[in-house]
Structure 1
Amino acid sequence: MKTRIIPFLVAFAMSVHGVGVSAQQLSLPQISDYLNQLQTAQGGFTQVNGDGTLSTGQIYIKRPGRIRFEYNPPQESLVMAGGGQLAIFDPRSNTGPDRYPLSQTPLNVILQRNVDLTAARMVTGSVSDGTITTVTVQDPDNPQYGDIQLVFTANPVELRQWIITDDLGNQTTMVLNDLTTGAPIGDIMFNIAAEMRRRGFE
């Protein structure tokens, strides 16, 4: 897998309306339950890249295994996952998207059907400062693919920030705006073959 995919791919954060803050550390079962109950989500995002530049766009999530990032101009890229694959569409390319197994990205850890952060070697760190809980998660069988830091508030449990660190130590952070959960999202949003046909690659 090309190492450049992780910083380009994105790390994303999710926030929902009604911020709840509590001076407590969330347990791993609480966080696992939150992720497993999160079926769909959509909203805007601001991505902080490793070099300090910013990108904005829209994010769509449909668990398990599906996510879509639509980048605004001037970037206008599209990153989408579905059917076990992750595809990166570059508007400047005329050869189709770069495609990778979703299982080779840190996103796979939290897009699985059943997330169990209590599994051995999945969580490499968990800290709280009294208002937020930060959990660092990796694929226990493939730590070389990088990790994700998840930052949560409590009461109710809400994910506020998501940072992906790649195998070279590069970090990308994404913060979402006006994220809504539970609304229906069509499967076509995550169909890589359909997107390729729409762009004239098939």
Structure 2
Amino acid sequence: MKSLCPLIVWIAIAAPAHAASLTDVAASLKATTSMAANFTQTGADGRVLTGRMILARPGKIRFQYDKAKLLIVGNGKTLTFVDYAVRQVSQWPVKSTPLGILLASDPDLSGVAKIAQVTDAGVVVEARDPKRPEFGALAISFRNDKAAPGGLSLAGWTSFDAQGGRTTTILSDIRYNADLSKADFGFRDPRAPVTR
């Protein structure tokens, strides 16, 4: 995997008194039943997009972009990418995508994740499924935050595809365990209806 530094750069003089473990990370994810945040996403081509993200475990997520005619939404089972500009819809099982590890009802990081970096500020977890290398890898960043579920705040992540392409997502203005409805994870299908 390429360097994780572009995700979040932390400089620490000494290791923290309590170094977060995978068990701590899994507990934090499990304790976060839902969240909402603003995001800034930088693609492999350098393009920067912003928007609003909401997440509800298990399996639900929505990336609503501010200006681009794009939508990413997971309804619990299926992750859907919608490009309204060209009326195209692509879908995958949520659990088969890099985001699956963030959206599992009971995250099990054993065998697919390891602690990649620990500082006084937080921890970076590197996740990849050795049985599915085509799905790439994910570097997930957490900040130490006593007010966050499990004491760790999800700061963002960098996804790496099988070809080495990198997309970085940074979160801000995070709100935890907010009330969200099922309708928040639906979408308008841009494809023209089939006529017979």
Give the shorter-chain TM-score range: 0.7 to 0.9
In structure 1, the residue matched to 2:38 is: 44
Partner amino acid, structure 2, of 1:45? F
Q: Which runs of 5+ in 1 are unaligned?
A: 1-12, 14-21
State how 1:148-187 maps to structure 2 within 5 Å: 148-154=138-144, 155=146, 156-187=151-182
Partner amino acid, structure 1, of 2:125? V
Q: Which runs of 5+ in 2 are unaligned?
A: 1-6, 8-14
Aligned length: 174
CA RMSD, 1 decimal: 2.1
Q: 1:89-110 CA deviation, whole Å, 9 max, x = no partner?
A: 112123x512222232111122
Q: Secondary structure at 1:97's aligned position in 2?
A: strand
Query: Taking structure 1 as the reference length, what is the TM-score of the superposition?
Result: 0.78
Offset of residue 125 of structure 1: 4.5
Query: Taking structure 2 as the reference length, what is the TM-score of the superposition?
Result: 0.80
Asked whether the equivalents of residues 124 and 138 of structure 1 are also in contact (C-alpha less than 8 Å), the reply is no
Alignment equivalent of 2:53, drawn from 38, 59, 83: 59
In structure 2, the residue matched to 1:79 is: 72
Asked whether the equivalents of residues 109 and 139 of structure 1 are also in contact (C-alpha less than 8 Å), the reply is no
In structure 1, the residue matched to 2:22 is: 28
Q: Secondary structure at 2:171's aligned position in 1?
A: strand
- Alpha-carbon distance change, 83 to 151 in structure 1, aligned in 2, over 3 angstroms: closer
In structure 2, the residue matched to 1:103 is: 95
Identity of aligned residues (%): 25
Report which of the two has the higher share of strand.
2
Between the aligned partners of 1:139 and 1:78, the Cα distance in structure 2 is 26
Partner amino acid, structure 2, of 1:39? T
Asked whether the equivalents of residues 109 and 138 of structure 1 are also in contact (C-alpha less than 8 Å), the reply is no
Q: Secondary structure at 2:183's aligned position in 1?
A: helix
